[in-house]
Amino acid sequence: MTIFQFPTFADQLHDDLLMKRTTDSDYTGLGNDLEKGASVNEVPKTASMRVFLQPRWVSAIDHMRCARFRLLVLSLLLLPSTVSLAQPYQGPIIDAHGHLGASFNWEIMVEAMDRNNVTHRTVMARYYPGPEGSRDLPGSDEDALRLAERYPAKFFPLVGMQQPLLTGPHKWRSPDHEVERLIEETERKLASGRFFGVGEFIVRHWAYSRGSHAEQENPIYSTFMQRMSAIATRFDVPMVVHMEGYPALVDDFSKLLSEYPKARFVWAHNCGRSKSPVIRGMLTRHPNLFCDLANMTNVGTTGYGIGWPRREEFTALIEQGGVLFPDMKALYEEFPDCFMLGMDVAHAPGNNPQIYSQRVNRFRQLLGQLKPETARKLAEANAIPIFKLSSNSTR
Ligand SMILES: [Zn+2]
């Protein structure tokens, strides 16, 4: 889940992440080109030469810095023209990562979807209180059901797992009576046939606001997740998981995926913002694993796609300036059936057509860089079988 964003280009330029991004080795293209300038190591290193060459050396470094800056500016100027070469994806889109709170205005949700040719949206009730208090009240599965009833075949509720009662790793290891009740309720709700999955399980989450549920560190390989995986298998529904890709957690997730091969898992945010080799490894080993690209567009001043609210050694972005990084693009072509899109509006203040359109439009631009068939699969075709979406309001 993520908060709303108000983009300003100036803010992005001020952000030192931008410079970091262009020098990280996994940011191919722009980043690599910048690294290919003359190296200080190429300057001869004998003592006499060093003395003789020092003024030139200094000026060479200055020149290099200047050249790097010019290259950066030039690259930023050239990016839009590179992007315009590919026609944006024009077809319908399924938003496979949506949330709901009691303060969400339903008409605005629908307007944002209709304006952008987004035909379906999954809805995961956010039981956590929002950072803006009374403007962003928690939601419930009952709200999600009412929304789905009001707009049939448009919204598809999942049994919500953004639950304050799940905060604390001990509750995942040995469920207390509250967690037991949640497990029982989940079974009952799935048995009604009106829910299309379970999630978002908040395993490892980086805080972007204050409060006791903001930072989460829960075990994925735990009794709670094993119980839920068995239930999801029985009802043939996917589980959506938010887990930043810490290597130890990835290993634990791998154990869970192997233990429940018939349970489908959707690892949100481009598989926990993992780097492409990690995602490739996991998708190769586990046919029951899928990824959504929820909020992975690199737009605005917040959002997972800009490396917010935190970045680590093991995290990666998927695009910059509306251009997919080549390694991610290759990954989507290699596993065209495994990825889906998501706008991930999780808080009422961010529920507006401007932010929604900005994310959808950027996804259309990115999809335009893939083979048309791959683009169509990511945009809508994959979400249908993974969530078993239908024109009925029951499964
Ligand atoms: Zn999430």
Nearest Cα to Cα of residue 254 among 279, 234, 227, 228: 279
**Verdict on whether the full-model pTM lies above 0.85:** no
Q: Is the peptide bond before 80 cis (omega within 30 degrees of 0)?
A: no
Beta-bridge mates of residue 315 = 274
Which one-letter DSSP state was computed for residue 391?
S
Q: What is the dihedral of CA 167, 173, 177, 180, to 10 degrees?
A: 100
**What pLDDT band is residue 52 in, cutting at 50, 70 and 90?**
very low
- Ligand 1 centroid to residue 40 C-alpha, Å: 43
Angle value at C-alpha 94, between 93 and 97, nearest 5 degrees: 130
Give per-residue pLDDT as tens, 90-135. 999 999 999 999 999 999 999 999 999 999 999 999 999 998 999 9
Give per-residue pLDDT as tens, 303-337. 999 999 999 999 999 999 999 999 999 999 999 99
Nearest Cα to Cα of residue 286 among 275, 274, 295, 278: 278
Beta-bridge mates of residue 2 = 345
39 phi/psi in degrees, rounded to 5: -100, 145
**What pLDDT band is residue 77 in, cutting at 50, 70 and 90?**
low
Most confident of 51-55, 71-75, 371-375: 371-375
CA–CA separation, 217 and 207 (whole Å)? 11
Rg of the chain over Cα atoms, rounded to whole angstroms, equals: 23
Read off the tokens for 170. Answer: 């001990």
CA–CA separation, 207 and 213 (whole Å)? 8
- Ligand 1 centroid to residue 261 C-alpha, Å: 23
- Ligand 1 centroid to residue 268 C-alpha, Å: 6
CA–CA separation, 237 and 394 (whole Å)? 12
Least confident of 34-48, 125-139, 143-157, 176-190: 34-48
Least confident of 37-41, 151-155, 211-215, 370-374: 37-41
- State the residue for tokens 């489908």: 264
Nearest Cα to Cα of residue 299 among 3, 36, 8: 8
| 16 Cβ contact partners less than 8 Å away, ≥ 6 residues apart | none
What DSSP assignment string belongs to 38-56? PPGGGS---HHHHHHHHHH
Element (H, E) at 141: helix 141-150
**What pLDDT band is residue 68 in, cutting at 50, 70 and 90?**
low
CA–CA separation, 134 and 73 (whole Å)? 43
For 343-382, what is the HEC assignment?
CCECCHHHCCHHHHHHHHHHHHHHHCCCCHHHHHHHHHHC
Most confident of 21-25, 60-64, 214-218: 214-218
User: Higher model confidence: residue 70 or residue 224?
Assistant: 224
Beta strand ranges found along 167-218 (DSSP E) = 198-205, 216-217
Q: How much is the pLDDT for 264?
A: 98
Residue 14, pLDDT > 70, answer no
Q: Which residues surround ligand 1, an ion (CB under 5 A)?
A: 1, 242, 268
- Ligand 1 centroid to residue 272 C-alpha, Å: 9
- Ligand 1 centroid to residue 157 C-alpha, Å: 16
- Ligand 1 centroid to residue 207 C-alpha, Å: 11
* Count helices and strands in the chain by DSSP H and E runs: 16, 12
- State the residue for tokens 């290699």: 334
